Chain A
Amino acid sequence: MSLENYRQQPAVFAAFAAPTLIWLLLFFIAPLGIIWLYSFGENVSLVDIETTWTLDNYARIFQPEVLVLLWRSLWIAGISTLVCLVIAYPVALVIATAHPDKKPWLLLLIMLPFWTNLLIRTYALLNILGTRGRLNDVLGWLWETTNTLLTKFGLGEFQLIGESFTPLKFLGTPGGVIFGIVYVSLPFAILPIYSSLERLDKSYLEASLDLGAGQWRTFYHVLLPLTAAGVVTAGIITFIPALGQFLTPDLLGRGQVDMIANVIERQFKRANDWPFGSALSLFLLYITFVLLAVRSFYDARKAHRS
């Protein structure tokens, strides 16, 4: 299909393109421009900000307490992404190799929780992650069962798994926040891996196995390298929203495990320090751009090779 040159029908082109471009300019670029100006500004009164081109707001990002916050956000988002990828790969593999009739239903099963409101999903976790919550019930039950089994095998007196079950504390700990981020972002990780598995030429796997490589060797040396692009995409599109998560650290972290977004929110809603909040938001935006650039670099290199 050939595309029309816009010069052939400039009026039609303008009629279709103008509303979009005007909308984006007005409600997307201009707002970002305003916080860009604010990020170089100072509070002159409670609500008035003057752009003095100061770099103080950016310098504040490199203060120790903000660096601690950035580092915490990065490692929490990083570990959550890794956990997501480790779970997502086998799940995507099951869907991609399922019977063609079942595939769409399995995908729907993955997508359905994703379409449920983020706040509600986080609230649902808040209910089960408490020290007396359902997750600790399940863990307690697992402990009991294991203990009974160990006793049956005559190992009871060694107390291999501890004397008694102590409920784990999830709320207000990084563990709870990671649990929450994995829960809300798992579908982001599954779908790109699934689509790279779908496009895979399965004869490579047959060849590898025919030539005597085992299942694990085939996985590490054939399957994983061939789907690496999907894994990188999955990692990046899981990591970006994870890094900017507001609700999970807010509700599950209970103020103990703040991430970037929580501090940004505080600058605008309570601390009333818009210039610093703007600088921090833009900093988050720049990290996003760097990650996207890494991805296009990776894609370009891959395209160059093949």
Chain B
Amino acid sequence: MKANTKKPFEYSRKWSLRLVFLTTMVFLYAPIIVLVVFSFNNSRRGGNVIWKGFTTKYYGKAFANEELMLAFANSMTIAVTSTIISVFLGAMTAIFLWRFRFPFKPLAEGLVSLPIIIPEICMGVSLAMFFSSLDLWTSGDTPWPFNLSNIILAHITFSFPFAAMVIRTRLQNFNREMEEAAKDLGASEYRVFRDILLPHMRPGLIAAALLTFTLSLDDFVITFFTSGPNTVTFPVKIYSMVRFSITPEINAASTILIVLTLLLTFAALRYQRITDISNDG
């Protein structure tokens, strides 16, 4: 055992712990970096084994793949629609849980957080059975984008509790005296909401929107169960491509989605100062 020359809480200065941290980072990032690098590999089959020179042709192929692009358009439509509704619903949830005292409140809070906790597969299966038993499946000839409504309903259900959580955190530091002052000066309930509460909630609403958008874009399992043959999303399409055969085109398609996620993350950081991340923990 070494002599204690360092302060006890300076674990981050110990080389052994730094090595563990560094190795973990390599573990987390290396597979993704390899995936991106091999999307430029000029090799038709088994494209992820041997490097055969640089090419961007698989990006061309991915963009020319009509089914893949339709899946992308589907994913974006679903993400935009479910984000708008989720943030709206999440804001309502956050406000009523934050503002009121009412009987069975712990039960309501538990119910709202349940979709976050339960295994994805249970939710996917139950929604699929729900749509089929009530004959709510969109049929093959429903016009786009209405054929996506099953998936959109499913996405709202699993993502609005996340939105509610983010917005409620923001509401916790709202100063109720501002509201009382406005009311004393004659503002109506509606004006207090519009001119005081809503502006205060804004950063929370934006953070919630970016989170739910990412959640919707990322989801595979629940979408897999609630999508039909004509309503394939980007991840579901990539999944069927992976099952068929592994080609650099999949790497290219994946890279496009990774870049999109990165852009969204940095957009989120612009609205939420980076220091908020460690304070939320």
Interface set of A (CB-CB < 8 Å, partner B):
1, 3-6, 9, 12-13, 16-17, 19-21, 23-24, 27-28, 30-32, 34-35, 38, 47, 87, 90-91, 93-100, 103-105, 107-113, 115-121, 123-128, 130, 132-134, 183, 186, 191, 194-195, 198, 202, 205-206, 208-209, 214-216, 218, 240-241, 243-244, 246-247, 251, 260-261, 264-265, 268, 274, 277-278, 281-282, 284-285, 288, 292
- Residues of B92-137 at the interface with A, using a CB-CB cut-off of 8 Å, are 92-93, 95-96, 99-102, 108, 111-112, 114-115, 117-123, 125-130, 132-133
Contact across chains for A118 and B218 when beta carbons are under 8 A apart: yes
- Residues of B226-276 at the interface with A, using a CB-CB cut-off of 8 Å, are 235, 238-239, 242, 246, 250-251, 254, 257-258, 261-262, 264-265, 269, 274-276
Contact across chains for A285 and B119 when beta carbons are under 8 A apart: yes
Q: How far is the CA of A119 from the CA of B220 in the complex (A)?
A: 7
Interface set of B (CB-CB < 8 Å, partner A):
1-2, 4, 7-12, 17-18, 20-21, 24-25, 27-32, 34-35, 38, 48-49, 89, 92-93, 95-96, 99-102, 108, 111-112, 114-115, 117-123, 125-130, 132-133, 153-154, 156-157, 160, 164, 176, 189, 214, 217-218, 220-221, 225, 235, 238-239, 242, 246, 250-251, 254, 257-258, 261-262, 264-265, 269, 274-278, 281
A-B contact pairs, 9 of them (CB 8 A): A117-B257, A118-B220, A120-B35, A127-B31, A128-B34, A194-B281, A205-B9, A206-B7, A215-B4
Beyond known contacts A3-B100, A34-B126, A127-B35: 16 more, CB 8 A cutoff: A4-B100, A5-B102, A19-B89, A20-B96, A21-B111, A35-B122, A107-B281, A108-B269, A112-B265, A115-B214, A123-B254, A124-B254, A132-B49, A215-B8, A247-B220, A281-B122
Assuming the contacts A27-B130, A128-B30, asked whether A91 and B24 have C-beta atoms less than 8 A apart, the reply is yes
**Chain B residue at smallest Cβ distance from A102:** B12
Residue from A12, A38, A109 in contact with B129 in the complex, judged by beta carbons closer than 8 Å:
A38
Q: How far is the CA of A16 from the CA of B112 in the complex (A)?
A: 14
Closest 6 CB pairs of A and B: A244-B119, A31-B130, A31-B126, A16-B96, A205-B8, A124-B31
Contact across chains for B119 and A3 when beta carbons are under 8 A apart: no
Contact across chains for A183 and B108 when beta carbons are under 8 A apart: no
Q: How far is the CA of A296 from the CA of B262 in the complex (A)?
A: 36
Q: How far is the CA of A30 from the CA of B157 in the complex (A)?
A: 12
Residue from A87, A107, A126, A128 in contact with B277 in the complex, judged by beta carbons closer than 8 Å:
A107
Q: How far is the CA of A208 from the CA of B7 in the complex (A)?
A: 12
Contact across chains for B102 and A274 when beta carbons are under 8 A apart: no
Q: How far is the CA of A117 from the CA of B34 in the complex (A)?
A: 16
Instruction: Report chain A residues within 8 Å CB of B10.
Output: 97
Q: Mostly helix, strand, loop or mixed at chain B's interface?
A: helix
Q: Which of A97, A124, A247 lies at the interface centre, i.e. has the most chain B CB atoms within 10 A of its CB? A: A124
**Chain A residue at smallest Cβ distance from B265:** A115
**Chain B residue at smallest Cβ distance from A191:** B281
Contact across chains for A281 and B92 when beta carbons are under 8 A apart: no
B77 CB → nearest A CB, Å: 17
Q: Mostly helix, strand, loop or mixed at chain A's interface?
A: helix
B137 CB → nearest A CB, Å: 11
Assuming the contacts A94-B17, A130-B49, asked whether A104 and B278 have C-beta atoms less than 8 A apart, the reply is yes
**Chain B residue at smallest Cβ distance from A109:** B25
Residue from A5, A97, A117, A126 in contact with B217 in the complex, judged by beta carbons closer than 8 Å:
A117
Q: How far is the CA of A241 from the CA of B129 in the complex (A)?
A: 21
Q: Which of A19, A97, A241 lies at the interface centre, i.e. has the most chain B CB atoms within 10 A of its CB? A: A97
**Chain B residue at smallest Cβ distance from A262:** B121
Instruction: Report chain B residues within 8 Å CB of A34.
Output: 126, 129-130, 133
Assuming the contacts A120-B238, A124-B34, asked whether A104 and B8 have C-beta atoms less than 8 A apart, the reply is no
Q: How far is the CA of A206 from the CA of B129 in the complex (A)?
A: 57
Assuming the contacts A31-B126, A244-B121, asked whether A134 and B92 have C-beta atoms less than 8 A apart, the reply is no
Contact across chains for B21 and A90 when beta carbons are under 8 A apart: yes
Instruction: Report chain B residues within 8 Å CB of A17.
Output: 92, 96, 100, 102, 108
Instruction: Report chain B residues within 8 Å CB of A274.
Output: 129
Residue from A27, A194, A260, A265 in contact with B157 in the complex, judged by beta carbons closer than 8 Å:
A27
Instruction: Report chain A residues within 8 Å CB of B32.
Output: 113, 116, 120-121, 124
Instruction: Report chain B residues within 8 Å CB of A103.
Output: 278
Q: How far is the CA of A288 from the CA of B121 in the complex (A)?
A: 12
Instruction: Report chain A residues within 8 Å CB of B278.
Output: 100, 103-104, 107, 198
A136 CB → nearest B CB, Å: 11
Residue from B11, B112, B217, B257 in contact with A24 in the complex, judged by beta carbons closer than 8 Å:
B112
Instruction: Report chain B residues within 8 Å CB of A198.
Output: 278, 281
Instruction: Report chain B residues within 8 Å CB of A251.
Output: 242
Q: How far is the CA of A91 from the CA of B35 in the complex (A)?
A: 25
Q: How far is the CA of A38 from the CA of B130 in the complex (A)?
A: 11
Residue from B12, B21, B157 in contact with A23 in the complex, judged by beta carbons closer than 8 Å:
B157
Q: Which of A1, A90, A123 lies at the interface centre, i.e. has the most chain B CB atoms within 10 A of its CB? A: A123
Instruction: Report chain A residues within 8 Å CB of B221.
Output: 246-247, 261
Instruction: Report chain B residues within 8 Å CB of A127.
Output: 31, 34-35, 38, 48, 246, 251
Q: How far is the CA of A267 from the CA of B189 in the complex (A)?
A: 52
